[in-house]
Amino acid sequence: MTVNDLQTRPRLAHTRLGTGEPLVLLHGQGLSRRSWAPVVTELARERDVIAVDLPGHGDSPRQPRGAGNAPLDQARAVVELLDELGLTSVHVAGNSVGGWVALELGRLQRARTITALSPAGLWGRHAPIFIGATMRQSRINARIVRRLAPDAPRSRWARAAFMAQLSGHPSRVPYAMANAAIHDMAAAPGFRETLHAAERTGFRHGNEIRVPVTVAFGTRDRVLPPAITRRRHELPPHTRWIKIKGAGHVPMFDEPGAVVTLLLHASGPHAGEPIR
């Protein structure tokens, strides 16, 4: 690798495949672009798919000193990537904190459409205490497993235990996906600072978004309870709200077909209209 290669290489790790209009995929807290594996191949048949590792996750380094770690700061890092790729605007889909980052990209006027799957940030001034506590415990559990049993969780019982917070049907999550999620959660170098930054605030000024917005929650989401984490007034009035039956917090793990259908429709010419 030459010095010139280092200068031009994008800071955020990403995978790009497919043809069509550009669709950026953003993962949740502690995970990586690998969480989109169940849907990428099908999406790439009709979209130019760009799956991104957010700062401090997967293969992407932490934010530079002074850049900040809140979802808005992460959105600015994605904007930097879009500039490097020569993309003025893109369709954006995000899960959990990635959904929040997708909404911030809408405020930054870099999104053509936004699809937020189980988005974080739709709470009050601060995240509910139990959400941060649950995420930190998941991180501890993942690090223990990664050190003591790096090939876990092979049994359905073990997957039911380790994936209960992420999946609506945790025992059914394929081994490879469960193992990848555990390793990503354990290894994310920016886990602490990004979680702390997200806890201290919430998504605001959604009325500034002018493009189509679709928000979808799984009916088995155990991370974000409806009563306190889905404040609709934080989003523009034209937002379309969808339920994904049987899906948990990471719906790609449970209902990949439904997620593909939703993302293609929400990023298509009839975005905002009912799915038929």
> Which of 27, 91, 249, 265 is the catalytic position?
249
Catalytic site residue from 32, 60, 96, 167: 96
Residue 249 annotated as catalytic:
yes
Known catalytic residue at 270: no
Q: Helix-strand-coil percent breakdown of the chain, rounded to 5?
A: 45, 15, 40
* Catalytic residue selected from 48, 53, 184, 221: 221
Instruction: Give the side-chain half-sphere CA count within 13 A for 154.
Output: 3
Place of tokens 């394929």: 174
Burial degree of 118 (CB within 10 A; 0-12, 13-18, 19+)? buried
**Amino acid type, 212:** P
How many other β-carbons are positioned within 10 Å of the β-carbon of residue 65? 5
Our answer to whether residue 53 is catalytic in this structure is no
Cis peptide bond N-terminal to 153, omega within 30: yes
Structure tokens given for 238: 């034209």
Active site residues per annotation = 96, 221, 249
